[in-house]
Amino acid sequence: MTRAPRWSCCWCWSRPFRGLPVVAGLLVSGLARPALAQPSAEEAEPPPPDSGAPDPTAQPDHALTPPKLVHDVQPRYPEAAQKEGLAASVVLEIDIDALGRVENARVVEPATPSGYGFDEAALEAARLLEFEPAREGSDAVPVRINYRFRFVPDVRPRALHKTVNASATSAEPKATAPTGQLWGTLRERGTRLPLSGVKVTVFRGEGTDAEGYETETDAEGRFRLEALGVGSWRLLADPDGYYPLRTTEKVAKDSRTDVSYSIERSSYNPYDVLVDVKRIRREVSQTRIDARQAERIPGTFGDVLAVVQNFPGVARTFGFQPVGGGPVIRGSAPEDSRVYVNNIDVPLLYHFGNLRSVLPVGMIESVGFYPGNFSAEYGRATGGIIDVKLKDLKPLKFGGYADVNLFDSSLFLELPITDELAIAVGGRRSYIDLVLGAALADTGDTITAPRYYDVQAMASYRPSPAHQLQTFFFLSDDVFKILFEDPVAADAETLISDFGFGVNFYRAIAEYKYVPDDKFESELKLSFGRDLQDFNAGLQAFTHTRLYQGQVRETARYELSGALALRGGVDYLFQKYRQQARLPELPQEGDGNAEVDLSAAVLTNTSETYHSSAGFAELELRPWSGGLLLPGVRADHFSRTSEWAVSPRFTVRQKPNDQWTLKGAVGLFAQEPPFSDTAAQIGNPDLGLERAVHYSAGFEYQPLPHLNLDVTGFYKTLHDLVSRTDQVVSRDGEAQPLNFNNGGEGRVIGLELSARHELTDKFFGWVAYTLSRAERRDDGAASYRLFDFDQTHILTLIGSYRLPRNWEISSRFRYVTGNLYTPITGTVYDADADQYQGIDGPVNSGRVGAFHQLDVRIDKRWVFEKWMLNAYLDIQNVYNRANADGVQYNYDFSESESQQGLPIIPVIGLRGEF
């Protein structure tokens, strides 16, 4: 007795290699137990990259299409086996030629038990099979597959005769039998998203009574099984990548049974939904990371923007970073780099201490990082650019998250109002002040430290595919304040009773994006914001700063042909700056161990309005195969310095083949000096622009589909830097100290190397190494000295690996050359103040020991019916390295010891998502 073999398929990929037959592992099996028929993960995943096999999604032009069975043949069932009711399976290796014919077949997994003729029957049948040939692209190619025949004894011959080949007949329940309906909904467990296109099968009975029906869920995850016989039915839904739904339902006569199921995905990888946006690379050096990837990196405590500190070219900043403590990029001071949110300038990226950023992960799509030679669309900076791209708000359901960790708690909600309109809100509040306040209660001091909060609101309206309007508002507030029970000495002559500073800023951004076709796109952005900065050290020194800022920005791109596109725009920035201050001379970069003399504080009052207008244009030329030329120019006018800055920039990229890219760039960059340096009396209102020239060259190499190497050498010269001077000038008939001039210079040279393993099913990671030397020459100095943040070697290793059951382990290792300091080479006893004063040696001539640290992060996600809980343990400084951040001296400077960084710190955080 023969049985109609049923078969299922799974395969892995391989493409022809120099004309040889393709060897593809196509497993075609008959009815088999799941454990036998299921492919192992290794079988079903793409082969290892070194096999030369491409990712089919990456190279669609050469994708391999497997052979398709067009003529099935039922093997004869060995008579003796049928009589004894024996079942068996046989796996054959079959060569299929380019015409789809079976060229050869051999047994690779013989039947058990042997001797009944299963192998022979399978070989006979296999030679008669016919396939639609496998194809690579459009070309038919020969392949080798594995094919399994499963022999199932016919225990109910009559029933089988009735139903063979009846698998696609319409349901025709017996007219006389009582029936009912089974309606249901299938959703994904945890996310509540409907599952569409999933087969739902019901079955029951044995032998002649065996019956079954199947249907498929619609876009809303709904399915309907009509006219089912009354009684119990077993129900099965087993979509790929999900655990199976297996349950029993009862159908009652002339009634409808409504059911709702949720099934669990094998892995709730947040990266599964990543959208790879193809961008034209306009920069020689660019790092872009998706938000959901960034938040898993150890040491970030789940904060997306903290990942910037791990990019090549970024120095390790240390200690407590108050306002303005941004990243040090390629040897540039923190204030020389700009932070943008959707191309709109924001004053700071992080709350106090650089631990937490001012934006929540729920609203961030990606973080772009441009350490130098950035496009002409960016300006007003001589260092680097961090551009945070906000999420294109398109929620499928009402959802969000609540996050609780050591530092703060946050909430994020998003809601689709209509198909065109969606909104999202978020907020965060820290409670470090409460913890520290309790810890320091015994000292008698009152501390509000550091307390921060931020709130956000976003709305997106897309009336048609060509038009999109998005608004975004966010507010950030940081306060640090301490009241001393006993006033402390700020310097030799001054006692202060309290100390505090705070930053509060908001931005309201409106964007209109118009993309009528694939040749033209336009983005108009309007923003308004206010920055408040307050500082006080008792009554002796204070600042109250208000900055109102408005910005209009229009960018358009038109593609004239495949070889030429033009991109250009205008950017206008309005600033109204007000400051009341009582400040002494503040230490600048390169001042060594200079101390603040509060008794010399000067009272100033500034109120000015500034305008900064810019236009930029850039061509995208593809004059030859693989070549991309990006000549651009940016013209800025700054009313504060009454200067124009015309900044031509040029980038070239050449791809000699799919794996290599050569690149180079040169460009001019300019920025205004900080407000504090142009303030009257304590600064110099006549300061001019600071300027820089960036050079960079390098190559990118992609040896494997998921591996990218990037080597970039850079050289940067800095001109007209603000530098301290002892010169005196006459203003309004009075001799006044000039304080600062544009006499400083700088140069930075370095090499960045990064190797990045893009996200695959289980792993992502990168290595970033920077070798650099950053120097400055102050006004009047004969020679260069090292820049305060010069760090010769910066090495960062990051890896993240996903385990089953929604576990993920990530680690980060960093090695950084030790920080610079200015040693004290002598002392003087000040009898009046009754204290020793140190005498500085050469500025930045000392260096503390190297910094190295390992951080580990473990994430675990629990999936519940309608929500998910993610817990993480972020362990900083796993091996408790006593890293030195600086040097401190005893009272007479006769002894010194290092200021040590943080010890091992385990931090637990929780996030609930729904």
Partner 1 sequence: MPSVKISSALVLALTAGWETTALAQQSPAEEKAAGAKPRLALEMPKPTQGHYLALGLHTLGAMAFDDGRGTRPPTFGTGFSLRLGEAVTSWLDLGLAFALGSTSGKEEDSLSLGRFTVHSQWYVSDRWFIQAGFGATNGQGADPEDLELNRGRYGDVYVAGLGANLYLSDGSRSGGWVLSPVLCIEVGPDSDFTTAAAWLGLEVSWWSGLARDKLELPIDEAYE
Site residues for partner 1, 57-86, by CB under 8 A, read: 57, 64-69
Site membership for partner 1, residue 162 (CB under 8 A) = yes
In 3-state terms, what secondary structure has residue 865?
coil
Residues within window 772-831 making contact with partner 1, judged by CB under 8 A: 803-805, 807
Site membership for partner 1, residue 122 (CB under 8 A) = no
Site membership for partner 1, residue 33 (CB under 8 A) = yes
Interface map 449-488 toward partner 1 (x if CB under 8 A): ----------------------------------------
Site membership for partner 1, residue 56 (CB under 8 A) = yes
Q: Which of 18, 19, 20, 169 binds partner 1 (CB under 8 A)?
A: 169
Site membership for partner 1, residue 398 (CB under 8 A) = no
Q: Does residue 122 contact residue 107 with C-beta atoms inside 8 Å?
A: yes
Phi, psi of 321, rounded to the nearest 5 degrees: -105, 105
Q: How many residues are listed for the chain in this entry? A: 914
Which pair of structure tokens corresponds to residue 261?
Answer: 């199921």
Q: Are strands 314-315 and 338-341 parallel, antiparallel or unpaired?
A: unpaired
Tell which residue, 723, 746, 634, has the closest CA to residue 674. Answer: 723
Q: How far apart are CA 233 and CA 182, in angstroms?
A: 10
By C-beta, is 276 or 595 nearer to partner 1? 276
Site membership for partner 1, residue 10 (CB under 8 A) = yes
Which pair of structure tokens corresponds to residue 871?
Answer: 């817990």
Site membership for partner 1, residue 32 (CB under 8 A) = yes
Q: Which of 51, 163, 708, 837 binds partner 1 (CB under 8 A)?
A: 163
Q: For residue 736, give the H/E element and its range.
A: strand 734-737
By C-beta, is 171 or 280 nearer to partner 1? 171
By C-beta, is 32 or 121 nearer to partner 1? 32
Q: Considering only the stretches 75-83, 326-334, 745-753, 898-906, report the one whose residues sit in contact with partner 1 under the rule CB under 8 A.
A: 898-906
Q: Considering only the stretches 196-204, 340-348, 741-749, 835-843, report the one whose residues sit in contact with partner 1 under the rule CB under 8 A.
A: 196-204
- Tell me, by CB under 8 A, how many residues bind partner 1: 99
Which pair of structure tokens corresponds to residue 639?
Answer: 């009313």
Residue 70 CB-density burial (10 A; 0-12 exposed, 13-18 middle, 19+ buried): exposed
Site membership for partner 1, residue 903 (CB under 8 A) = yes
Q: For the chain, what is the radius of gyration of the CA atoms? A: 34
Q: Considering only the stretches 167-175, 295-303, 335-343, 431-439, report the one whose residues sit in contact with partner 1 under the rule CB under 8 A.
A: 167-175
CA distances from 204 to 201, 802, 832 (A): 10, 39, 100
Q: Which of 41, 280, 434, 564 binds partner 1 (CB under 8 A)?
A: 41
Q: Give least dist CB 434 to partner 1, A.
A: 23
Residue type at 905 in one-letter notation:
I
Q: How far apart are CA 28 and CA 701, in angstroms?
A: 38
Site membership for partner 1, residue 268 (CB under 8 A) = no
Residues within window 131-150 making contact with partner 1, judged by CB under 8 A: 150
Q: Does residue 267 contact residue 804 with C-beta atoms inside 8 Å?
A: yes
* Total Cβ atoms within 10 A of residue 357: 25
Q: How far apart are CA 623 and CA 607, in angstroms?
A: 51
Site membership for partner 1, residue 907 (CB under 8 A) = no
CA distances from 512 to 419, 461, 622, 668 (A): 18, 10, 29, 30
Q: How far apart are CA 712 and CA 281, in angstroms?
A: 15
Q: Which of 120, 183, 213, 257 binds partner 1 (CB under 8 A)?
A: 213
Residue type at 499 in one-letter notation:
F
Whether residue 113 has a cis bond before it, omega within 30° of 0: yes
Site membership for partner 1, residue 394 (CB under 8 A) = no
Residues within window 841-860 making contact with partner 1, judged by CB under 8 A: 856, 858, 860
Q: Which residue has the tokens 């089953």?
A: 804
Q: How far apart are CA 889 and CA 892, in angstroms?
A: 8
Site membership for partner 1, residue 166 (CB under 8 A) = yes
Site membership for partner 1, residue 705 (CB under 8 A) = no
By C-beta, is 150 or 481 nearer to partner 1? 150
- Provide CB contacts within 8 A for 165, sequence distance 6+: 4
Q: Which of 263, 363, 367, 679 binds partner 1 (CB under 8 A)?
A: 263
Q: How far apart are CA 495 and CA 491, in angstroms?
A: 7
Say how many Å lie between the first and final Cα of the chain, rounded. Answer: 55
Q: Considering only the stretches 260-268, 308-316, 723-731, 889-897, report the one whose residues sit in contact with partner 1 under the rule CB under 8 A.
A: 260-268
Site membership for partner 1, residue 201 (CB under 8 A) = yes
Q: Which of 104, 880, 888, 900 binds partner 1 (CB under 8 A)?
A: 880
Residue 857's DSSP bridge partners are 810, 874
Q: Which of 61, 172, 726, 732 binds partner 1 (CB under 8 A)?
A: 172
Q: Give least dist CB 161 to partner 1, A.
A: 9
Q: Which of 50, 61, 206, 258 binds partner 1 (CB under 8 A)?
A: 206
Residues within window 352-391 making contact with partner 1, judged by CB under 8 A: none
Q: How far apart are CA 741 and CA 117, in angstroms?
A: 96
Residues within window 221-240 making contact with partner 1, judged by CB under 8 A: 223-226, 234-236, 238, 240
Q: Considering only the stretches 114-122, 166-174, 304-312, 350-358, report the one whose residues sit in contact with partner 1 under the rule CB under 8 A.
A: 166-174
Q: Give least dist CB 805 to partner 1, A.
A: 5
Phi, psi of 34, rounded to the nearest 5 degrees: -55, -40
Q: Give least dist CB 798 to partner 1, A.
A: 18
